[in-house]
Amino acid sequence: MSRHKKIVHENEPVKFNKHSHKIQALKGFKDILPEHQKFWNFVAEKVKDTAEDYSFQKIDTPVLESALLFQRTIGEETDIVAKEMYTFTDKSGELITMRPEMTAPVARAYIEHGMISWPQPVKLWYLASLFRHENTQAGRLREHHQFGFEVLGGAEPELDAELVIVAQGLYKSFGLEAEIEINSIGCSTCRREYIKSLKKFLRDKKVCETCEGRLERNPLRVLDCKEKKCQENLVEAPQILDSLCEDCKNHFVKVLEILDDNSIGYNLNPYLVRGLDYYNRTVFEIFTKSQTEDKMALGGGGRYDYLIEQIGGRPTPAVGFAGGLERVIIKIRELGFEIKEEGHGDVFVAQLGDEARKKCMKLFNELRKHGVKTREAFNKKGLTEQLEIANRLKVKYALILGQKEIMDGTIIIRDMESGIQEIIDLEKVVPEIKRRLLGMNGLKVYSEKE
């Protein structure tokens, strides 16, 4: 048997027989099963709350974009563009990429929808799936999700600082202690000078094979190379902070002052450059506090004042931050945090017999119309079985309707915690349930819609 995988061509019908392998999710792509949803909902809720607190508006952009968008902005020399993009030619011959990140698509949308004429800065947030053909490992997937915040149309250092503060607060709300690393990589002018002196310094140094290539094309990347050989070299390397021009220096000092004023701890990391070409001035990354020697990057961001112009917009300063959802969830689960299950409902309608089932279906819709979270198991016949489900769903009340109750025009209300049962008129059940739920903690308010 050939050890090579058979390549199935696009229009060739796939033949299945009993010896075919089971079809599984692609490597690096994961299902999010029902039991994991509570973690996703928890993180998504916190992101949404934080975004609203700081007046960010939500944006969604398409999964597919023109490949040019990323080639022009992220940089040809980056791993993402050079090796990791899912790019293909579509049926009309256009080169398409599945988005590997969200900053460029958000910037594209800013230009395309004339957001330059909105009150500036425009503050947008997102939660999106991204695609990178990476070597998979724990916390490194080919489809992953990021939440992110972008502030477009503002050059002030206050905005950079605010994003660091937003990020720090957000991780805190997840229950995670974030460690912030920050640096400034200057503007195109002062960076040019720095690159010259870095190249000079590295000229006679031994660097890893990948960095040999980077030395010419993108020497800043040598700074954040993880290879020991390269890191050892850097101890004596010139530091970018020493090369900042007056404006860039003032900008960075102001950012740090605001962080200090707000008691936000950070580490200055002169080797942090954040890989992608579009960054300038402030760059930062968020790590989990290192209990182990392996720190995990949870998120990162920075200023990207040239990006909008690069893709055809007017020069527009901007700054952003994005974090990985999967990694936050890994951390939350590692630390064993209890995440409260989503409320499964307040009331369960249980029925015995065909007539009762019909009436219960109506009652179910009636309760829902009144905003009561109602659950059912109309496919079940036995009462015990239905009450077991009600129990599992942790509802407050079960409403039980059988033959006798139908004849009497009544229904049983069972308090699921105490087991106490009362009989009330069927036609009074909706207002009675609303009254009880409202009284439960004094806070629960249901809509009054009919």
Compute the least distance from the CB of residue 297 to ligand AMP, in Å. Answer: 4
- 121 preceded by a cis bond (ω within 30 of 0): yes
How far apart are CB 139 and ligand AMP at their closest, in Å?
6
CB atoms within 10 A of CB 440: 11
| 157/299 with CB nearer ligand AMP | 299
* Amino acid residing at 382: G
Minimum CB separation of residue 133 from ligand AMP in Å reads 9
- The least CB distance from residue 303 to ligand AMP, in Å, is 14
Residue 430 beta carbon to ligand AMP: minimum distance, rounded to whole angstroms: 47
In the bound state with ligand AMP, the residue whose beta carbon lies nearer, of 277 and 326, is: 326
Shortest Å distance, C-beta 223 to ligand AMP:
16
| Alpha-carbon gap, residue 207 to 233, rounded angstroms | 8
Nearer to ligand AMP, 224 or 366 (CB): 224
Query: CB 134 → ligand AMP: shortest distance, Å?
Result: 5
Nearer to ligand AMP, 43 or 406 (CB): 43
Nearer to ligand AMP, 134 or 355 (CB): 134
Taking phi over 0 as left and psi of -120 to 50 as alpha, with beta for the rest, 128 belongs to beta
What's the closest the beta carbon of residue 148 comes to ligand AMP, in angstroms?
Answer: 8
Looking at the Cβ atoms of 171 and 364, the one nearer to ligand AMP is 171
Contact 317, 303 (CB under 8 A): yes
Token pair of 85 as six digits? 């993009």
Closest CB to ligand AMP among residues 43, 258:
43
CB-closest chain residue to ligand AMP: 324
Pick the closest to residue 125 from 199, 42, 51, 233 (CA basis): 51
Q: Determine which helix (DSSP H) or strand (DSSP E) holds 374, and give its type and residue range.
A: strand 374-376
Sign of the dihedral defined by the CA atoms of residues 42, 48, 51, 52, in that order: negative
Q: Which residues bind ligand AMP (CB under 6 A)?
A: 101, 132, 134, 139-141, 144, 146, 297-300, 322-324, 326-327
Sheet holding 57-58, edge to edge: 57-58, 122-131, 143-152, 318-324, 297-303, 280-288, 178-184, 267-268
Contact indicator for 393, 375 with CB cutoff of 8 Å:
yes
Q: Rounded to 5 degrees, what are φ and ψ at 135?
A: -75, 120
For residue 387, give the 3-state DSSP assignment: helix
Cβ closest to ligand AMP, residue 144 vs residue 434: 144
Reduced to 3 states (helix: H, G, I; strand: E, B; else coil), residue 13 is coil
Cα–Cα distance, 84 to 68 (Å, whole number):
15
Whether the Cβ atoms of residue 129 and residue 144 lie closer than 8 Å to each other: yes
